[in-house]
Amino acid sequence: MSEALSRLTRWASLFWLGLFAITWALSTWSFDLYKALDARWIIRFPKKFELPLDKWISDAMSWLVEDATFGLFTFRDVTRFISALIEAPYDIVRSLLIDGFAVGQGQQAVQVAPSLSWIAVIGIILALAYHARRRNLVLLVGICFVYLAMFGQWDSAMITLASVLIAVPIGVAGGLALGIFAYRVPLAERMMRPVLDLMQTVPVFAYLVPILFLFGFGPVSALVATVVYAMPPMVRVSTVALQSVPQELIEAGRMVGCTQRQMMWKVLIPTAKPSLMVGVNQVIMLTLNMVIIASMIGAGGLGYDVLTALRRLDIGGGVEAGLAIVVMAIALDRLSQAFAVRRFDAPLNPSLPFHKRRPLLTGILLLVAVTTVAGLFVPPVHLYPEDLTITTGSFWTAAIEWINVNFFNTLEFIKTQLLTFLLVPIKKFFGGIPWIWGILVIGLAAGRVGGWKLGLLAAGLTLFVAASGLWGKAMTTVYLCATSVLIASIIGIPLGIWAGQSARANSVIGAFIDTLQTLPSFVYLIPVVMLFRVGDFSAMIAVVLYALAPAVRYAAHGIRSIDAELIEAGKVFGCTERQILWRIKLPLAAPSLLLGLNQTIMLAISMLVITALVGTRDLGQEVYIALTKANTGQGIVAGLAVAFIAIIADRIVTALARSSRERLGLK
């Protein structure tokens, strides 16, 4: 029995070893092979068999925009209608926050009402924080917004906030509506699930291309892209939240004679509200993330400031705008989280007069009225006085310069060492794999882990990548992703284990990781570019920072959720701390670690695409180029290639996690 088992494990490790050895050999000598046999198809997918999918998509899009008609109206009319629908409320919010209300066009425009004063905006935000019943929160949010005013980021921040204020309600309402639909119609849920899966793996830039093509450059495009990006998690959260309302409550609703609508609005949604609010928080954070990225297609605001600063290599401006984004992200995140955990209010006493029933609201209305009127006569009340703003731009420029001057050698040393001994070899390894063998080896590995169906799926998706003529770039993506995930795991897992074992470590590491995770992905590029300039190495660092959080979280969770009795049993048998860690905790935490790995890979891939901005030569760059040329087909195909890589990785790691759970008898 045990002999058979050991033969089995030996055979298993032989399989993996063999696979790796062949891959390595082929990767090393593929170029020589091609030279020797004069067979270029070995390293390059033959041109004449390439799928012209990108051209087809581009043609289809052009047809949609130019010729498609639904009888009464054309496709163009539909996009115009959507634009108008989004633009109207956006204009209102923007007028309210910054521009002020005007009548007339262009030069003839006459202002009829001013925008809200900065004091009023801060007052409203503080009242919201107070309403969420968190004293500390009021302080934190107050500091954040006063920072934005004092450091001269107010206008950009308000433009960004306006986009958020429009995109979030649309995302939440749309997500909730689709979620309700999926909850009511199980067939719809089954059909939506793969679409949602794909939406969450397709890189953000890839959305931007067709949207840019359909809606043109400007805030509307940015808002559409933002909503498309931020809505899928809300759909999922809504469906799950509704599904997890206890059956008894639904029966109670039916027994008192609720109609379908009453059931939804009086029973299901209020009961599911705490979970729904988690979804709302997610929508807010994703919206902010995307609003920043969407500055590339005309969102304006803080993202635009960062983008221009990055392009001009204006260190000070970049860091300033970046910090403003950080501040805003933290404020919005904490605020929405506070609302998520807020308890239900006691009913108001209707006999009291309005100002006694709602003192906070009354105060805010007064504040708005007073500051608006006073702002007309005393400008500083309306706009934060410019000569009181503090510019830190030159400080940051100097600081970075100082670091670069004093630590140039150290930084450069680290960079070259890592490049020579890690990045370049891995790049060579992946880059050299001939495409045919690549397809085969993925299929074999996936099949071995998750059954022949998964194997076929993986091989098929890989074939798509190769057949689109993207093999080389895809391998660059894989190499960057693999390296970043490796480093993120090496840093993150030990941190997570430490946090899982010690409450004190956890409070520090947890806070750090929470903050890292609230930051929009764009922000990570700034310090990295400042210190390491452009290239693969900078990209890798940004990806590692962005993808670190799940590695830490899941490791900590895995360690923490181990049955305490098992650890006690280990102690009783006289295990040392070390043995307990290696023999009990780690094996039991393996499924959790694998789930963390999965999330790390997903985040790494999504970040990788954004690092195209700092000059990687992977699929992200392909999408980015497509974006600048507004080439829909190229963008979508490259985006799909990225999504397919993500899907393959996801399925393989999930299968691994599943089998490791089964091995441990966990369900």
Contact residues for other proteins (CB under 8 A)?
Answer: 246, 248-249, 251-252, 254-259, 262, 266-267, 270-271, 273, 343-344, 346-347
Nearest distance, CB of residue 316 and other proteins, angstroms: 49
Residue (of 340, 344, 206, 212) closest to 285 by Cα position: 340
DSSP per-residue string spanning 213-254? HHH-SSHHHHHHHHHHHHHHHHHHHHHHHHHTS-HHHHHHHH
Q: What is the DSSP letter of 298?
A: T
Three-point CA angle 77, 82, 86, nearest 5°: 145
Which of 258, 403 has the CB closer to other proteins?
A: 258
Nearest distance, CB of residue 192 and other proteins, angstroms: 25
- Sort 345 into a burial class: Cβ within 10 Å, 0-12 / 13-18 / 19+: exposed
Tokens 């953000």 sit at which residue? 204
Which of 249, 456 has the CB closer to other proteins?
A: 249
Nearest distance, CB of residue 251 and other proteins, angstroms: 5
Nearest distance, CB of residue 358 and other proteins, angstroms: 18
Tokens encoding 228: 């498309």
Nearest distance, CB of residue 540 and other proteins, angstroms: 47
Tokens 């521009």 sit at which residue? 99
Which of 11, 344 has the CB closer to other proteins?
A: 344
Max distance between CA atoms of the chain, in angstroms, equals: 93
Which of 350, 574 has the CB closer to other proteins?
A: 350
Nearest distance, CB of residue 174 and other proteins, angstroms: 24
Which of 256, 398 has the CB closer to other proteins?
A: 256
Nearest distance, CB of residue 158 and other proteins, angstroms: 34
CA distance 633 to 644: 16
Q: What is the 3-state secondary structure (H, E, C) of 336-389?
A: HHHHHHCCCCCCCCCCCCHHHHCHHHHHHHHHHHHHHHHHHHCHHHHCCCHHHC
Do 425 and 19 touch, CB atoms closer than 8 A?
A: no
Could you count the other beta carbons within 10 Å of the beta carbon of residue 481?
Answer: 25
Do 289 and 167 touch, CB atoms closer than 8 A?
A: no
DSSP per-residue string spanning 15-46? HHHHHHHHHHHHHHHHHHHHHHHT-GGGTS--
Nearest distance, CB of residue 347 and other proteins, angstroms: 6
Nearest distance, CB of residue 272 and other proteins, angstroms: 10
Which of 1, 346 has the CB closer to other proteins?
A: 346
Which of 48, 343 has the CB closer to other proteins?
A: 343
CA distance 250 to 243: 11
Which of 249, 366 has the CB closer to other proteins?
A: 249
